[in-house]
Structure 1
């Protein structure tokens, strides 16, 4: 699909990834951003995009933004994955209702292209590399469960309702925005106490970290070049970074040398996966490779966060 001259709806378009995606698309497309601002910042919506503040669990809001002249829906809106991880019912119900409602509306008005942001959490605690055809998928967090359920609904509409779907299973995405996530968490903790940094778990958790600009670039590349009914792609870097290494990078960038206080155990919170190995061979075969390593992505995001003052 050519990403030029299209009418595009970006849900969650005031968030970290959504706002960068909207900014990338806005110069060459008619972009509508819809966000309830529970996790978004209206100042992040780019000039040239139409902004609609609304709750996508409300069918009338979905009907207002998903109209017959829309060419592509980029669905990034989701309940915060870090909120009350021990009681995920509200998160699960909201996310699945939103995704189902959007797809149902798309079928009603004849919109047949959806880019959906999933997560590597659908793989669960695999303990081994997880290419896109890895199975069985056994998520261990409420967030992973809701993303897998949403993927299932997308699959139904791809195979039975003539909707072309691009599903992205993200690594950890970092960038210039405070909020949930290990990098802003460490920056804020060290500003409060430069001497000691509390690290959840044992610090050995290893995952791929991808800068938001490269994430958005990869998404656009896949939408433009992958043309199956259902296209599933891992998005990340070729290597992993440990939580302790992230603490080192953040401390270095802040000019600090704190002691680390580990909370213990190999999981930072309920449903945390100690090690995620996210191959991106399929993405590379489509012609896209990241320029930044995980460490470089973390360092760049840290510098951007520090520059916000």
Structure 2
């Protein structure tokens, strides 16, 4: 057991609910702040205190983020990569982070864990290490994450913060929505004969199960103690979209024909091939329990059970 109190923004979302459950299991007192635009209040564990609030409101954290909070995990974000309102998304994501940082400074809370993204790298050589440069994101979502990283680096180096900055691969598992695996499950449930695949099916990325993701985050927070600690979270292997289709179809006992929309990527801003270097994470003493293919298959089973 521990007396630690942790505030989790976005704690009603996919990764957030899994993280909150893990922190509660570890004996922590957890406060969840979420506007439920990307999540569900019903999925937040009952043992956590829940506050519905919009972090773009400067007063959202008044009386919530106080000096008795020991650390913050910031997962809240507008996550759609192919948004039709890119400037609103950039402003919203950076404003949420600024609101949170100002509240932390006022409360003298200086431990900050942030969920960034592999999208900050853009179309980089693979495997991509944390010190790769120049970082040139090709989506507004990636640009907003990179801007937030700059704000956090400033607070780490000039305002005595300790920051853990996580650049995620594609995180999968139960509760996931709006991504390729649940998309395929839903499509095949509606039409078992034909599956429409965005792009050419050759897109190839690293997929990490949410249980591994949360465990890696907790490990890094406990074992990395520099002012600014940036870590890639992913697997050493990748899975193609065609392979995902085959795994989902196999788990559903189907043999559909594939139809492709064409092109080398699924949407504007999509990075068609991504694999992060996880050597820095391994040097800290952590390795994923599942390969990319294994994470996809386990997630497919979990999502089929949920969605069918």
Which interval holds the TM-score relative to the shorter structure? Answer: over 0.9
Deviation at 1:5, TM superposition (A): 2.2
Asked if 1 retains the 8 angstrom alpha-carbon contact of 2:14 and 2:176, the reply is no
Q: Which whole-Å deviations, capped at 9, do the CAs of 1:12-63 have from their partners, x for residues lacking one?
A: 0011110000000013111001111111011211121101111111121122
- What residue ranges of structure 1 are gaps of 5+ in the alignment? none
Asked if 2 retains the 8 angstrom alpha-carbon contact of 1:85 and 1:141, the reply is no
SS in 2 for 1:61: coil
Q: Which whole-Å deviations, capped at 9, do the CAs of 1:140-186 have from their partners, x for residues lacking one?
A: 01110010001110111111111100000000000111421111111
SS in 1 for 2:8: strand
Deviation at 1:135, TM superposition (A): 0.5
Residue 198 of structure 1 corresponds to 196
**TM-score normalised by the chain length of structure 1:** 0.97
Deviation at 1:107, TM superposition (A): 1.1
Q: Is 1:117 paired with 2:84?
A: no
**CA distance in 1 between partners of 2:106 and 2:229 (Å):** 22
Asked if 2 retains the 8 angstrom alpha-carbon contact of 1:233 and 1:282, the reply is yes
Residue 34 of structure 2 corresponds to 35
Q: Which whole-Å deviations, capped at 9, do the CAs of 1:257-304 have from their partners, x for residues lacking one?
A: 111111111110001011112010000000000010111101111111
**CA distance in 2 between partners of 1:145 and 1:264 (Å):** 26
Asked if 2 retains the 8 angstrom alpha-carbon contact of 1:19 and 1:46, the reply is yes
Residue 255 of structure 1 corresponds to 253
Residue 105 of structure 1 corresponds to 103
Residue 238 of structure 1 corresponds to 236
Residue 288 of structure 2 corresponds to 290
- What residue ranges of structure 2 are gaps of 5+ in the alignment? none
Deviation at 1:66, TM superposition (A): 1.4
Aligned residues: 306
Residue 44 of structure 1 corresponds to 43
**TM-score normalised by the chain length of structure 2:** 0.97
Q: CA RMSD in A?
A: 1.2
Asked if 2 retains the 8 angstrom alpha-carbon contact of 1:177 and 1:184, the reply is no
